[in-house]
Structure 1
């Protein structure tokens, strides 16, 4: 049973999401929050496995709520799935940096929502490669003049794996591309995460662009 907390400031959207999830087998909705502050409180009280987090809310927004929830949560930390109206919403980038595991458009159908909850609850990141690239590239164009992030701690192979992850390839696709096993890909990526002090695949994608390892449109 996957426990879920639903966060959205619009009552009809929140009620609709919660109702859909309650009707699905294997999912238990443990709470509904109308803003970020209530989300932080309910997350601490109910310890959900997955949180559907709206971004634009009055008061504390979804980015700040994500940061606070993950900072105070004990292991295993909740998996936060960001809900957004626009696939290029600049706020989504901030949520990824805060530690969100993925994002879902609010106009996605019921099947997509349930699949997203299942994927995130199972430990996967939810990022359609094309949308992820567009999102990060759009931000990268705005921050191209900032000081790049250093990747000197990474080996050549770790850089190769990180670059392919940033291009939207799965572990299996990377293994095929580099002629190594999928387990070896995971090992390289886990070492990269440790060396760069990253908490999610999403943050690794962001770092790859910010560091210049992958360039927008490249």
Structure 2
């Protein structure tokens, strides 16, 4: 039976994540209401603008229910702004921005620079590209965060391989929570979505 995975549909790459999840074998539900959140087996928090997303979670009365479900163990995956929202500590954010405190990491917003500094690179991603015959993962970074530090129990899955940001952490997992700085939904490579769907099935 296919898991039902929600995509938080307040802003960002909702359609692209929906396509990636379906390609990976999941049923998908756009989540804008508590009743929809209550139905899903896992949740994707897409890229977008993290401070706006924080405000919209309050407007739609989703913030407290989402925090509760995450504390109960709801599997979640956040890309770019989604990573920021899931983090326990955020650098360079607005003082009124709220986060979900589901990953024991410190992230820095817009760490790679402004929109004009967006870039692509090939990454090795633990659990995906280390499979026999697997190709590197093409990663697209758009005003992306990076992970400054990780707590106990957080697994580093990918780092930037070369350039000024070499060694910076850009993918992490802690139990049922996954996050990437980059946008796998825009490349047509659905392996991160498949990784998350498998995580949801296992949970």
Structure number with higher strand proportion: 2
Q: TM-score, normalised by structure 1?
A: 0.39
Higher relative contact order (CA 8 A, sep 6+): 2
Larger radius of gyration: 1
Q: TM-score, normalised by structure 2?
A: 0.41
